[in-house]
Structure 1
């Protein structure tokens, strides 16, 4: 079972720590435990509770009414809300609850309902991708158990692979080589980029996780892609990212290299002339629109 500080609860629920303390004192909503050194902490049950409270409160339920509900009543009201509401923040809350409870069936229902209402791309852009980015950061800081992140990542990965397989590639499209650096295993952003690229009719050579440098070079020589794209979430570290980008730029000097990820966004890095930083997944979408526009004009 994971443990959380009140700041972790604030990050995951969006409710200020000060407000949580007031609710804890006034309504006995939470039951913090204490370490041997008398430091307060919260467990998975506390997190699930406060996520449900946040969702209900955001949708107009008074905190006094929420505090009077038992666990089953609260869960039933949350289920009703997530079945009918299209608010992105509400759906992200619902996915977070599914993650903490390891509830695969409920997660699939929330995701499938949104895909039916919004479409796959909009669901990914506005709900799943922000959710995964948030969870990724929390996993890195130790705020959530790695098992939670792996559980959700595998479910999202399955959805993405099915969606990618359904895309049709155009013979007129550009060629993209997608890979993750050696030691990098966080694949969701790369898979979503693959979906976006193929949805625009472009061809994808997908190497995936933990690609050795020599293998990358061998595939590059065979396919001569127009673009290379990578996501650096954990490896290489931010301290080594500049050297890695310089190496990529030198080895693949004839190709436009697109990079994004936690270790490069917001860092004080100098981008070589053939390397372009993508701050968000929307940047990749905008670039694809530009590439398609140029192709159509030709």
Structure 2
């Protein structure tokens, strides 16, 4: 079981620590535990409670009414809200709760409903990616364990694969080779890139997670792609990213190389002429549009 400070709850729920303390005193909403050294802390149940409270309060429920709800009543009201509202923050709250509780049916329903109403691309941009940013905060505070993270990632991955399979390549366009460096397992961003590239009418050769350098060279020599794309999140580590990009630029000098990911954003790297950084994945759409404009002019 994870433990949280009141600052952790503030960061995760968006409710100010001062407000939480007032609600504790006035409504007995939270009952903090104490360590042997008398330091206050909160547990998983407190986190789920506050996420529910935040969602209801943001949608006009008075805190006095929320405080008198049973756990079952509160959950029912949250379910009703997320079924009928398309407010992005509400959906992200609901996904977070579903992940913490590992409620696969609920998680899948939220994703599917938003995809039907917003479209796959907008659901990824406005709900899934902000949700994944929130997951990053949850990791930092120890709020989720590896099982919960894998649960979430696999469900999102399934949606991405279905969406990618639905985009049929009709010939023409450019050829993109997509891969992750050795040791890199965070696949969501590169899968979404594959979806956007296929949607734009280009051919995708997808190698996926932790691609050995020798295999990358073999596939490159076989298919001669116009572009290589990778996303660097955790591997290689920050001190080796420059060397890794230089290695790609030198070994695939005839291709254009697109790099993105957490290890790229906000860093002061020197990029070779054939390497293009994308600091935000949404920039890939603009990049693809520029490629298509050039193709249409020919």
TM-score by length of 1: 0.95
Checking the alignment, whether the CA contact within 8 Å between 1:255 and 1:274 is kept in structure 2 is yes
SS of the residue 2:176 aligns to: strand
Query: Which moves more between the two structures, 219-228 or 9-18?
Result: 9-18
In the alignment, is residue 165 of structure 1 matched against residue 165 of structure 2?
yes
Q: Output one character per residue of 1:225-284: Cα deviation in whole Å (capped at 9) or x when no partner.
A: 111111111111122211111111111122111111111211222222221111112111
In the alignment, is residue 134 of structure 1 matched against residue 134 of structure 2?
yes
Cα distance, 1:141 vs structure 2:
5.9
Counterparts of residues 27-46 of structure 1 (less than 5 Å): 27-46=27-46
Q: Which residue of 2 aligns with 1:146?
A: 146
How far apart in 2 are the matches of 1:23 and 1:193?
44
Q: Which residue of 1 aligns with 2:94?
A: 94
Q: How well do the aligned residues superpose, as a CA RMSD in angstroms?
A: 1.6
Query: Which moves more between the two structures, 69-78 or 263-272?
Result: 263-272
TM-score by length of 2: 0.95
Cα distance, 1:78 vs structure 2:
0.7
202 and 30 in structure 1: CA distance in 2 versus 1, 3 angstrom threshold: same
SS of the residue 1:176 aligns to: strand
77 and 209 in structure 1: CA distance in 2 versus 1, 3 angstrom threshold: same
Cα distance, 1:143 vs structure 2:
4.2
Checking the alignment, whether the CA contact within 8 Å between 1:177 and 1:206 is kept in structure 2 is yes
Structure 1: runs of 5+ lacking an equivalent: none
Structure 2: runs of 5+ lacking an equivalent: none
Q: How many residues align?
A: 298
Checking the alignment, whether the CA contact within 8 Å between 2:12 and 2:137 is kept in structure 1 is no
Counterparts of residues 45-64 of structure 1 (less than 5 Å): 45-64=45-64
Checking the alignment, whether the CA contact within 8 Å between 2:193 and 2:284 is kept in structure 1 is yes
SS of the residue 2:106 aligns to: helix
Checking the alignment, whether the CA contact within 8 Å between 2:184 and 2:235 is kept in structure 1 is yes
Q: Which residue of 2 aligns with 1:207?
A: 207
Q: Which residue of 1 aligns with 2:80?
A: 80
Q: Output one character per residue of 1:85-130: Cα deviation in whole Å (capped at 9) or x when no partner.
A: 1111110111000000100000111111111111111111111122
Query: Which moves more between the two structures, 6-15 or 210-219?
Result: 6-15
